[in-house]
Amino acid sequence: MKVVVYSHDADTRARMQLAIGRRPAPDVPEAEIIPVATEPALIRLLDAGGADVMVLDGEAQPAGGMGICRQAKDEIHDCPPVLLVVGRVDDGWLATWSGADAVTSHPIDPVAFAAALAGLMRQRAEHRSAQAGG
């Protein structure tokens, strides 16, 4: 399953990728991680249908994950589910505004991060199965 990891910061992308590992839970498909560092690259990838699940850094610069999430949810038909990583736990309400499907915060807790992502991967797999009629 294609998991897009977006952040302008290479260290943040690396921490996210480490938390994902090969698969965030035993009952989900292997994650094909696609790291993305810029908003234009992310939008091109989404327009091409190249993501099953997105992990967006809410603290990314100059385009934050919250705004990108909101735009994607408004503009992309069948938008992939989004795990938004916010700067503080108290920013969870902003994640709700953005349309994120799940939220976690910095610093990344690998167990909570993997659990949230696995939930979104299950959701996407079920959605795809339902679309295929099975």
Which domains does the chain possess?
Answer: 5-109 (3.40.50.2300)
| 3-state SS string for the chain | CEEEEECCCHHHHHHHHHHHCCCCCCCCCCCEEEEECCHHHHHHHHHCCCCCEEEEECCCCCCCHHHHHHHHHHHCCCCCCEEEEECCHHHHHHHHHHCCCEEEECCCCHHHHHHHHHHHHHHHHHHHHHHCCC
pLDDT for the residue numbered 134: 58
- Nearest-angstrom CA–CA distance, 67 and 69: 5
pLDDT for the residue numbered 95: 81
- For the chain, residues with pLDDT lower than 70 are 134
pLDDT for the residue numbered 120: 97
pLDDT for the residue numbered 129: 83
| pTM of the predicted model as reported, rounded to 2 decimal places | 0.94
Bridge partner residues of 3 (DSSP): 33, 53
Give the pLDDT confidence of 32-61 residue by residue, as tens digits: 999 999 999 999 999 999 899 999 999 999
